[in-house]
Amino acid sequence: MLEDHLKPRVALWAHIAVGVCLGILSATVVMATVAALMLRARESSAAETLQLSAEKLQREQATRAADERARTQQATEAQKEQEAARARRLEEAERRELAWTRYYRKPAPCDEAKGGTWSVDCANDYIRARARFSALYDSGKL
């Protein structure tokens, strides 16, 4: 077996080997722990980034939806205003035409119902009467 003078050397080498193994094992545990912590930090950061991105996307979608609703409402209001203006113009045209039919009377020689015939004089009379009517109506006298 081993000689007595070699036993301390073997014990020393065994002690050193055990120390090196324990050091390597400790370093491996520390490195694994650091790697796990870094991975958790990355996952947490990625989750936070994903959450922030989702929130930003939701805000953008909400903004777009609100903008679309506003545009639709504006278009609806504009269309209503146009329809109301058109209705006012039609009512005004009807009032004007009714006022014209009350205002204008064909002269007897131009009234076919009374035995008259159409002539250039009748056309000129109609044009002059229409001009007088427009002046009176536009000034508010009719």
Question: How would you classify residue 32: left for phi > 0, otherwise alpha for psi between -120 and 50, otherwise beta?
Answer: alpha
**Domain boundaries of the chain, sorted by first residue:** 7-87, 104-142
pLDDT at 42 over 90: no
Q: What is the pLDDT of residues 84-93, one digit of tens each?
A: 999 999 999 9
* 31 vs 142, residue with greater confidence: 31
The torsion angle over the Cα atoms of residues 66, 70, 72 and 77, rounded to 10 degrees, is 160
d(CA 105, CA 15) in angstroms, rounded, equals: 135
Q: What is the mean pLDDT of residues 47-67?
A: 88
Q: What is the pLDDT of residues 6-17, one digit of tens each?
A: 677 777 888 888
pTM: 0.49
What is the residue-wise DSSP string for 95-135? HHHHHHHHH----GGG-GGGT----HHHHHHHHHHHHHHHH
